[in-house]
Structures are given as C-alpha cells and as structure tokens.
Amino acid sequence: NAGVMQNPRHLVRRRGQEARLRCSPMKGHSHVYWYRQLPEEGLKFMVYLQKENIIDESGMPKERFSAEFPKEGPSILRIQQVVRGDSAAYFCASSLRGGDLTEAFFGQGTRLTVV
Amino acid sequence: KQEVTQIPAALSVPEGENLVLNCSFTDSAIYNLQWFRQDPGKGLTSLLLIQSSQREQTSGRLNASLDKSSGRSTLYIAASQPGDSATYLCAVRPIGGTSYGKLTFGQGTILTVHP
C-alpha cells in the first residue's frame, strides 16, 4: 500500500518559468492538502482539495499559484513565473476522511530551487 | 489566529534517556493534534494522533498527552536511541467550517540522541 507519492523530488527552474508539482494520494484517499516549508520557517498550509473541488485555499498566494485535483490523475500544484522566493520544499498530504477523524499522511516533498 | 509553540527548540541527550517535548497552542477549539517526525531532507512521518476527546495516545516508546483546556500537549520518548534523532513537529487541526483541512504547525524541536 504505497504512501503519498510526490514527483519530482527535486525541481530546478529559472526565474520566470513554470513549475508543476504532482501528488498522488494514498489509495482510497480523496482529500489532498498542500503545504510549503520555506528555509528556516515552519510548514504553512496552502490549499485543501477534494476531487474536482477546492475546499480551502486561504493559504495560497493570490497570484501565480494554482492547484487542482481532477477526477482522474494526481493533484497538481502549479506555480507560474517562478521567483527566487518560491524556493522551498512543497509537501502534499492526504487523508481518508475530513473532519475530526482526519489523520494526514505526508509525502516526501518536492524541493523547488529557483535560479 | 491559532499559534503553536514548541519548547525546547533543540535538545541533545545521551542514549537511553527519557525525554519530554512540549507543544502549546493558543486556541483550544481543535479537532485533534498530531505529532510528526521529520528527518533531514525528508517528508513527515505521522507518529501519533490524539482526538480532542482523548487524553493520551501510546505507540511503542512514544506517549503523547493532550490537555485541551490548557492548550498543551507533551510527547514522551522513553529510552531514547540515536535513531530517534530528527525534528519533531506538533500540529493542531481547528474546528470550524472547512478549516479542518488546515493543520497549524509548530516550529519543531530538533532532537539529537548521541551514543
């Protein structure tokens, strides 16, 4: 039973390029969450999605960032026109349920470096 | 706004010691609290999940307690081993609307267990 799978593990982009981060949740999980860990900072919530729906995007930067979780396939976090400040580790988590029974399981993360 | 604080920020102990990591949170309206372990450059591993109605959870040498009214949790590690060296993160899940998707993390305690 594979865990949460993220790819790529490491991604290097030049300023102005687009970054696409993928996350496949654990089997049977329909709730996906994205978090960002900036250097020397803690983990910060970005967005919570269920299949085809964005439930809570209160942590997403207003511009350049978007996320989706289509009916088929992985969840995608997309960062357009990347800047050096986007360099961070991006973690995806999934859960079987929402609400008070929610236990989140995290992937290994994608480490984005913007040069 | 929920804030989570972990004390100490770093801890270095000899192998075999029992130790306690502390976590405090400002808003007691939580569904649950989760303890994670993060190894350098890796993802998060869920250690223990305590529901708001529970007082403690145990897994092997780990025991976590929760006092929701005072906004505190402790993680107790018995008979520490060098393999326990990692960053330990505490996170709370809030009650209310769809915000249950949003874990709020502490800054972590960096634990080093030396032989």
Q: What is the mean pLDDT of chain A?
A: 92
Distance from the A22 Cα atom to the nearest Cα atom in chain B, whole angstroms: 15
Dihedral pair phi/psi, residue A49, rounded to 5°: -130, 150
Residue B115, Cβ neighbours under 10 Å: how many? 7
Q: Is the four-CA dihedral A48, A51, A55, A59 of positive or negative sign?
A: positive
Flag whether pLDDT at A34 surpasses 70. yes
Instruction: Kindly determine whether residue B102 and residue A109, on different chains, have CB atoms separated by under 8 Å.
Output: no
Residue-by-residue DSSP string for A42-103 = -EEEEEEEETTEEEE-TTS-SSSEEEE--SSS-EEEEE-S--GGG-EEEEEEEES--GGG--
Residue A74, Cβ neighbours under 10 Å: how many? 17
Instruction: Kindly determine whether residue A108 and residue B102, on different chains, have CB atoms separated by under 8 Å.
Output: no
Instruction: Determine the distance from the C-alpha atom of residue A58 to the mean position of all C-alpha atoms in its chain, rounded to a whole number.
Output: 14
Which of A56, A101, A105 is the closest to B99 by Cβ?
A: A56
pLDDT at B97: 65
Distance from the A21 Cα atom to the nearest Cα atom in chain B, whole angstroms: 15
pLDDT at B99: 67
Average pLDDT over residues B81-102: 86
Which of A55, A103, A107 is the closest to B98 by Cβ?
A: A55
Instruction: Kindly determine whether residue A108 and residue B49, on different chains, have CB atoms separated by under 8 Å.
Output: no
Cis previous bond, A8, omega within 30: yes
Q: Give residue A1's pLDDT band: very low, low, confident or very high (50, 70, 90).
A: low
pLDDT at A97: 79
Are A104 and B103 contacting, i.e. CB atoms less than 8 angstroms apart?
A: yes
Instruction: Kindly determine whether residue A33 and residue B103, on different chains, have CB atoms separated by under 8 Å.
Output: yes
Strands A105-106 and B4-7: unpaired
Cis previous bond, B8, omega within 30: yes
pLDDT at B102: 83
Are B98 and B37 contacting, i.e. CB atoms less than 8 angstroms apart?
A: no
pLDDT at B30: 87
Chain segment B32-71, per-residue pLDDT in tens? 899 999 998 888 999 999 988 899 999 999 999 999 999 9
Flag whether pLDDT at A33 surpasses 70. yes
Instruction: Kindly determine whether residue B45 and residue A106, on different chains, have CB atoms separated by under 8 Å.
Output: yes
Report the residue of A53, A90, A102 to disrupt the B interface, i.e. the one with the largest count of B CBs within 10 Å: A102
Report the residue of B66, B98, B107 to disrupt the A interface, i.e. the one with the largest count of A CBs within 10 Å: B98
CA distances from A100 to B29, B54, B76 (A): 11, 12, 24
Which residue of chain A has the CA closest to B106? A42
B49 touches chain A (CB under 8 A): yes
Flag whether pLDDT at A70 surpasses 90. yes
Residues 6+ apart with CB under 8 A from B17: B79, B80, B113
B46 forms beta bridges with: B36
Whose CA is closest to B49, among B73, B71, B28? B73
pLDDT at A2: 73
